[in-house]
Amino acid sequence: MVMNLDPQITPQQTIIRIPGLKQPLTILQITDCHLTECDEREEIDIRTEAVKRTSVFASQLAGGPSTADLFDRLLRTSNDLQVDFTVFTGDIIDFPSQANIEHLQRQFDLLRSSYLYTVGNHDWYFSGSFTDEVRAAAYPKFREWISETPGCEIRTVGGVKLIALDNSNYQVTNDQFAAIKQAAATGEPYLLFMHIPIYLSSLQQDVVDKWGAPIMMGASNWNAASREAWQVRTTDPSTSRFCRFLASEESGNIRGIFCGHVHFNHIDAFRAGRYQYVTAPGFTSQCRLIKLIAE
């Protein structure tokens, strides 16, 4: 079958071989689209900020399509590719305006595959404070797509568990960790989708060059000033335990970690033979097509 794919959308292809997989599966990962839709229903300071943020992305898009237009085209690409599943790994919207949320609702109605949505720090943040209270207050806006705390959604597709974890505050709670350990204990292969990558030494330099701070989960090499500027607290004990779990054999049949947040592509092992795939942002027309095949 010949498909007419959008020529501007450029998926990275990732092939993962899984022993005993019953059937091939294709999953499209979409991340960091940063929609900036906003209208008069928001307060003036939010509208002003939205105009600024729109121009930030417009400058990177060189006067091309809006971030919302690219998001729509990424969803159409998911439909055109007829993938088995689509996963959204955070910062799909740049702030939780009513216009942004309604845009998501309209587009998700057109998406043919099942999907998982996990939030990034921008999904729930207007400006000001990146606190757990601000996140908790915004969560009901996403209720249609994410069920409830502890922010760990699990779907099983063709014998593979897809886990969408909310680590958008750079932390993982004991409840989230327990849910993942329980899924891992089944021995079934699983993929982990989350917004913020785990710290890897090979990722460090590129992240700091781009952002001026080690904005990764479990990074310990922050200085006090950048921690304060980014409003990232020191790593919780539960988060440290989770990072050690991922890096060890304890994480069992995990077959990949997929994230975004830092806005570039990067692949490296977090454990012998198991890779973290950082995916470039949707607002640059990129996404990741994951093909699972039997080994």
Instruction: Find the shortest distance in angstroms from Cβ 261 to Fe ion.
Output: 6
Dihedral in degrees, nearest 10, Cα atoms 74, 84, 151, 184? -140
- Smallest gap from Cβ 281 to Fe ion, in A, equals 6
Residue closer to Fe ion, measured from CB, 141 or 195: 195
Least distance (Å) between residue 31 CB and Fe ion: 7
Residue whose CB is less far from Fe ion, 86 or 251: 86
Q: Output the smallest distance, CB 90 to Fe ion, in A.
A: 7
The CB-of-94 to Fe ion minimum distance in angstroms stands at: 8
Query: Which residue lies nearer to Fe ion by CB, 32 or 84?
Result: 32
Among the listed residues 137, 208, 148, the one whose alpha carbon sits nearest the alpha carbon of residue 173 = 148
Residue 123 near Fe ion by CB under 5 A = no
Residue 6's nearest CA partner among 68, 77, 67 is: 77
Here's the x/- map for Fe ion, 15-34, by CB under 5 A: it reads as: -----------------x--
Q: SS3 for 168?
A: coil
The whole-angstrom separation of Cα 130 and Cα 231 is: 6
Output the smallest distance, CB 223 to Fe ion, in A. Answer: 22
Give me the sheet containing 114-118, strands edge to edge: 10-18, 286-294, 25-30, 85-89, 114-118
Nearest-CB residue to Fe ion? 91
Cβ closest to Fe ion, residue 75 vs residue 262? 262
Q: Are 62 and 93 in contact (CB under 8 A)?
A: no
Burial of 259 (0-12, 13-18, 19+ CB in 10 A): buried
Q: How many residues lie near Fe ion (CB under 5 A)?
A: 2
In terms of CB distance, is 189 or 281 closer to Fe ion? Answer: 281
Whether omega for the bond prior to residue 150 falls within 30 degrees of 0, making it cis, is yes
Binding to Fe ion (CB under 5 A): which residues in 64-103? 91
Residues that bind Fe ion (CB under 5 A): 32, 91
